[in-house]
A = this chain, B = another copy of it.
C-alpha cells in the first residue's frame, strides 16, 4: 500500500465519521428517534417530549459531545455500575499508553525508519507514492546501530505499560472494595448456590438441604429455595406473553377489533366471535395451563438437586462457600450466587458429571468454531489483494483499473466483510457459554468476552499475519521454537493492512455504534406498525462484543508500536472517538442488567500482558533477522520480567476480584447488625431466588384492565 492510498482511505473514513456524527446530532433531536438514541432515558421517564418544532432541531450541534466529555466518574458509576467505569478505563488506559507510544513512535522511531536504506534510498520528492513500508522498521539496514533505539523503545514501552497496568489494577481493586463497603445489603451477598445435593431415598432434596445446613451451619443458616425443572413452563409463559402482545396490539387497532371468526374447525363454521374475544379466551386457557403446570411442578417436586441457600450474615454465606462441605468433593458443591435478576434460569446442570461433560463439549465446539472461521478470513484476505481478485474473476479487470475503485477495494471492502462475519461471533459464543453451565447472565457475558477475545486475536491477528491455511497455523504453534522468527517475518509485512484496518473498521465501528444503524432502520420500519405499544427495549451493554474489539486495537497498537509507528495516531484517534461515543452511549442508550463490580478488568489486564509478550517475542525474532543477535537475546530478560510482573499482579490483585475478605465481610455484617431494617431485608431474602416461571401470571387480567379504557 502506498501513502496516497492510505490518505484516500483516511479521507473517506474521516468524511464518513463527520457525516455520521453530524447526522447523529440532528437525528437524536427528532422525537421519533428517542427510542433509538436515548431508549434508556425514555424507559427511565427522564425525557420530556418537547412537542414544539424549532429550527434548532434541524441543525447539528455538538452539545452532546460536551455533555459526554464532562461526565464525572461518579456519574458513570451511578449510571453504568463499576463495569461501566472499568469499561471507560479501557479507553483512558489506552489513551495514556498510546499517547506515550505515539510521541516516541512518531518523533523518534518514524524518522529513524524513514532515513533507513534497506528498501530504497532517502527521497523526499515522491512522498505520496511512497510505500508505507518506508516508514516501518523493514526500511532499516541489517545490523544497523539505529536498531538499538528500537530496542530501548521496547524496554521503555514495556515499562510504561506495566506501570499503568499496575496503577489501573490497584485503582479498580480499591474502587471495587469501596463499592462493597458502601453497598446496601443485597440478596446475593447472603446467598450461595449449592449443586450436587445427594439423592436420598428417605427424604426429598429440599429436606436434605434443610437437614444438612441446619446440622452444620445452625447459627447462620436462614432458608433455601430449591431449583425446579421449568423448561416446559417457560415455553408456556413465552406463548402467553406473545399472545398478550398480540391482544394488546389488536385492542389498540380500532379496525381489527371488529374482525371476527367462527369458533369451529379452522374457523369455517360455528358461532361468530370477535378476534379480541377469541384471543382473550385463548390467553385465559393458556394461563390456566400455566397455573396447573406451576402447581404440578411444586407438588410433583420436579426438583433439580440444586438450591439457593441463604444465610443471615455475609460471613456465614462466605464460610459455607469457601469450605468444602462434604467428604465427597462432587457433592454439596457451593458457588457464589448471582444477583436474583441476574440468574440465568434455562440451563441448569445440577450434578457434577453432566456439567463437566457439557463444559468439555463447549470447549471443543469453541475451538472448532475458531478453526472453521478461517475460511471466510481466507476469502477476505484474497479480496484485499486486487491483483489476486483479477486473477480469480477476470471480468472485474475493467473496473479494478480505476484507481479509486481499486483503492476502495483494497482498503475498505475486506475489513467490512470481516466485520460482518465477526458480528455474528459474540452471540454464538454467548450461547456456548450458557451451555457451559454458568448460572448468571454476568458470568455468561464474562466467559463469552474471553472466548470472543481469543477468537478475535486468533482470527484477526494470527490468521491474517500467517495469511492462512489452518495447517500452517497449526504448524506455527507446534514448532514452538520458530514462533519469534515466523512472526518477525510475517508481522511487519501486514503493517499497511492493519493501518487501514484501524482506519476503516475501527473508526467505522465507533461511528456506527453512535449512529445505531440497525436500530434506526428497524425503528423507522416498525414506526407505524407498532402502534401505541409503549414498551422500549433497553439493551444492556454488550461487553462480550465490544471489549474484545477494543482490546484488539490495543494489541495492534502495542504490536506495531516499534514496527510501524505510523499506526499509532490512528489508534489514538480511535480511542479518542470511542471515549466520547461510549460515554454518551452508557448514559443514553444502554442500561446495565447486572454489575460484576469490575470483574472484566482482569481480562483487559491479561490481554494487555499478552500483547506485551507478543511484541517482545516479535522483537526477539526481528532483531535476530536484522543481524543484531545481542539485542535479540537481551530482550529475553524483558519477557521474563513481564511474566513475573503479571504473576505478581495475579497474586496481589486477582484475589480481590474473586472473593471478599473476612475483614470486609465481618465489618459489613457488624454495621448491619444494629440496623432495624435488616429483619425486613432477611424476610425478603427468603423468596428472592424463586424461579420467575413459578410466579403467578396476570396477563389476562391486565389485558382486561387495559381494554376498559380502550373500549370506553
Contacts and interface: CB of A to CB of B under 8 A. Distances in A.
A323 B319 contact: yes
Given A320-B662, A360-B644, A479-B481, 8 more contacts: A216-B663, A322-B322, A323-B659, A323-B661, A324-B660, A325-B663, A326-B661, A329-B651
A616 B328 CA distance: 31
Most buried by B among A324, A326, A479, A648: A324
A356 B650 CA distance: 12
A93 B462 CA distance: 47
Contacts of A288: none
Q: Is the interface of A mostly helix, strand, loop or mixed?
A: helix
Contacts of A328: 652
A480 B653 CA distance: 34
Interface string A659-698: 1111111100000000000000000000000000000000
Contacts of A644: 360
B478 A356 contact: no
A177 interface: yes
A113 interface: no
A652 to B, nearest CB: 6
B324 A661 contact: yes
Interface string A318-345: 1110111111111010000000000000
Contacts of A324: 655, 659-662
Contacts of A320: 662
Contacts of A323: 315, 318-319, 322, 659, 661-662, 665
Contact of A329 (B215, B216, B319, B655): B655
A357 B18 CA distance: 53
Nearest to A357: B644
Nearest to A663: B326
B327 A664 contact: yes
Contacts of A322: 322-323
A656 interface: yes
A475 interface: yes
8 contacts: A216-B662, A315-B323, A318-B323, A320-B662, A322-B323, A323-B661, A326-B662, A478-B480
A352 B323 CA distance: 24
Contacts of A215: 666
Interface string A278-321: 00000000000000000000000000000000000001001110
Q: Which 4 A-B pairs have the closest CB atoms?
A: A478-B481, A329-B655, A322-B322, A324-B661
A58 B273 CA distance: 116
A332 B666 CA distance: 15
Contacts of A356: 648, 651
Copies of this chain, complex-wide, total 2
Contacts of A327: 177, 656, 661, 663-664
Name the residue among A177, A328, A332, A648 with the largest chain B CB count within 10 angstroms.
A328
Given A322-B323, A480-B479, A644-B360, A330 B661 contact: no
A513 to B, nearest CB: 36
Contacts of A177: 327
B661 A325 contact: yes
Contacts of A648: 356
Contacts of A326: 661-663
Interface string A512-549: 00000000000000000000000000000000000000
A431 B104 CA distance: 48
A656 B319 contact: no
Interface string A537-573: 0000000000000000000000000000000000000
A328 B170 CA distance: 10
A474 to B, nearest CB: 8
Nearest to A330: B652
A215 B663 CA distance: 9
Contacts of A654: 329
Contacts of A318: 323
A449 to B, nearest CB: 24
Contacts of A660: 324
Contact of A666 (B216, B652, B666): B216
